[in-house]
Structure 1
Amino acid sequence: MRFAARWTLLWAWCLLAPRAAQAHPIEARKGTLNLLDRAAYLVVSLPVSALDNVDDDGDGALSPAELEAHAGAIRAQVIAGVQLLGPDRALPLHLLMLDVTPPEDSPGLASRHVVAMGWFDLGGASAAQAPDGPALREGLRMRFRLFGKDSAQRELDLTITRQQDVQWVRFTPERSEHRVLPSSVTLLAEYARIGAAHVLQGPDHLLFLLVVLATGWGWRTLLAALSCFTAGHALTLALCVWAGWSVPAGVVEPAIAATIVGMVAFDLWSRRQARAGATAQRLALVFLCALVHGLGFAGALTGLTRWPAGSTQMAGALIGFNLGIEAAQIAVALLAGATVQVLRAVVGQGAHRWASNAASATALVAGTWWFLERLGLQP
């Protein structure tokens, strides 16, 4: 009776879940996870190329006959590669159905995707806990490791629901694990870490920040420059995430490289002109360039996860992401300042000018190269 009840619930949920085509249970490279009382119901579309030793004729697709012949191997790989993790272990996945999804206009052909349907048992946090213990509600993580060989099959979008709560996450080989409907504090901390990592792992953002810092100003002016950079990228980040603004990456990425070149060019021009009013103009330029960098931050954030518009989860993710960016910027500024002080102690007062010229030259060359590369014009 328990199995029949779960089967009925699963199929009812599948029929009611949003989908693009009525002929298919779910779109390619997408999935849904619906958390109910004591179970989490899963429907996911998996690329055939992610499965080992099941494609007998090597055509990159799976026929119904191949599915039947290798059903056991496919089940084992799905159970190992699609996991819902509790605090101390992977929760049991009970697969109810495997099916192929051929093209709508050619239902007899083999399919490049396999649809897996099943449920995770949320009845206990550990093997020693009684099956009738309290269901797990917090601390869950979803892990996905079945990525295809083609570039288009290297990601999976999963929509997670629990009553009125909705979460969208994207799995990639680089980010194969996500928290499931995390608490506000956990969400804030996680996105602060993601924001800091995005800055520290992004050479273009780091180089622009070093150009902003390498001016020889006092700490008050440097603080003003960092504040302008913060205000600019926070504004466009909020507009993109909160208000739904969107700019193609093919425009944003070259523009970010152009801000590096433009900032260096302005500094070189200001030094030659020795203009007294260059500080105010430079702060304005930093703000304008930061607007462009905010578009890049927004693309990174929305490419990882999405939350319902106006939700507290969206606010938490946005605030945490910004806090992480600011923490990384402060760390870079402190490290750059300490480096200049060490150079001054070693080579004298000319160390700052040497460091400034080195940063400008590096930024000019790298920024120009990135700009041409991102436009597809590199030699």
Structure 2
Amino acid sequence: MHEGTARSGERGAMTCRGAVRGILRLPSLAVGLLMLAAEPAWAHLMPAQQGTLNVLGNAVFAVFSLPLSALRGVDDNGDGHLSATELLAHEPVIRDEVSRRIRITDGTRAGQLEFLQVTAEPDERDSASTAGSSHFVVLMKSGFDAPPALVRMESDFWGAAASERELSIKATRGAEAEVAVLTPRRESHSFFQSRSQVAAGYVADQLFSRVDLWFVATAIVVFGAGWQVGRRDAARMSAMASPPQC
């Protein structure tokens, strides 16, 4: 009897250990599903023109608050807000625009867009409000064959207002965290670069900025020289056209 009880206890312990191992194998999936299935009120925690990238295993989970004014043909009544009715009518178009204009890669290696959800939250905190929102929240999951080493994000999702032409992104990977600001003049950023990669990027930026300054300076010199020549030619032609003085 004692032997049967002992065997039963061993089987129970093995089952328990297997269950624990199964739970430990799914932390990233659980966290990702919790993030993607968050209550609508959670979206208020993402301020306008901000976003996050969270690297978990082979996937990048992203949340963005994007401007409605960056889209065409979605704001049916022209009030500058995305209502629930408008979202329902145009969600496929919005999803297509987001997936096309926001790209998350591992360096030059593209991932697979596995999930994309769009949520329209009212600007007012009143849950009964139907006014809609000037921004909408996007939840995305991009999967890769291996844990991404160099997370690169590129976006050209810019609104009409000046305040809608900057997108602040915070990327995390375990204990690592990095913040970047995308603008129409700098529409991409690579997170978690090595020191050598950062240095190379800095040198390239400085080189291009110096080249731009050189072109501007050259244009000013050429324009100035041309203007001086033009003045001399005009004076010479004026003298030739003037009648002789008696």
2:61 maps to which residue? Answer: 41
1:169 aligns with 2:189: no
**How many angstroms does 1:48 deviate by?**
0.4
What are the within-5 Å matches in structure 2 for residues 308-323 of structure 1?
none
Q: Secondary structure at the match of 1:179?
A: strand
Query: Which of the numbers 186, 198, 207 marks the counterpart of 1:187?
Result: 198
Cα gap change, 1:144 to 1:202, in 2 (>3 Å): same
2:117 maps to which residue? Answer: 97
**In structure 2, what is the Cα distance between the partners aligned to 1:53 and 1:68?**
13
> Does structure 1 conserve the Cα–Cα contact (< 8 Å) formed by 2:57 and 2:147?
no
1:294-351 deviation digits (Å, cap 9, x = unpaired): xxxxxxxxxxxxxxxxxxxxxxxxxxxxxxxxxxxxxxxxxxxxxxxxxxxxxxxxxx
Cα gap change, 1:45 to 1:91, in 2 (>3 Å): same
1:160 aligns with 2:171: yes
1:230-271 deviation digits (Å, cap 9, x = unpaired): xxxxxxxxxxxxxxxxxxxxxxxxxxxxxxxxxxxxxxxxxx
Query: Which of the numbers 32, 49, 71 marks the counterpart of 1:10?
Result: 32
The residue type equivalent to 1:168 in the other structure is V
> Does structure 2 conserve the Cα–Cα contact (< 8 Å) formed by 1:83 and 1:142?
yes
**How many angstroms does 1:22 deviate by?**
6.2
What are the within-5 Å matches in structure 2 for residues 1-379 of structure 1?
8-10=30-32, 12-13=34-35, 24-107=44-127, 108=129, 109-123=131-145, 135-201=146-212
Q: Secondary structure at the match of 1:195?
A: helix
Q: Secondary structure at the match of 1:73?
A: helix
Pair member with larger Rg:
2
The residue type equivalent to 2:186 in the other structure is R
Q: Secondary structure at the match of 2:110?
A: coil
Q: Percent identity?
A: 30
The structure where strand makes up a greater share of residues is 2
TM-score, normalised via structure 1 length: 0.45
> Does structure 2 conserve the Cα–Cα contact (< 8 Å) formed by 1:47 and 1:113?
yes
Q: Secondary structure at the match of 1:167?
A: strand
**In structure 2, what is the Cα distance between the partners aligned to 1:85 and 1:22?**
26
Cα gap change, 1:37 to 1:112, in 2 (>3 Å): same
Alignment gaps of 5+ in structure 2: 1-25, 225-246
The alignment yields a C-alpha RMSD, in angstroms, of: 3.1
Cα gap change, 1:188 to 1:145, in 2 (>3 Å): same
**How many angstroms does 1:166 deviate by?**
0.9
> Does structure 2 conserve the Cα–Cα contact (< 8 Å) formed by 1:83 and 1:91?
no
**How many angstroms does 1:198 deviate by?**
4.1
Alignment gaps of 5+ in structure 1: 124-134, 208-354, 359-379
1:91-133 deviation digits (Å, cap 9, x = unpaired): 222334211122234441210001000211022xxxxxxxxxx
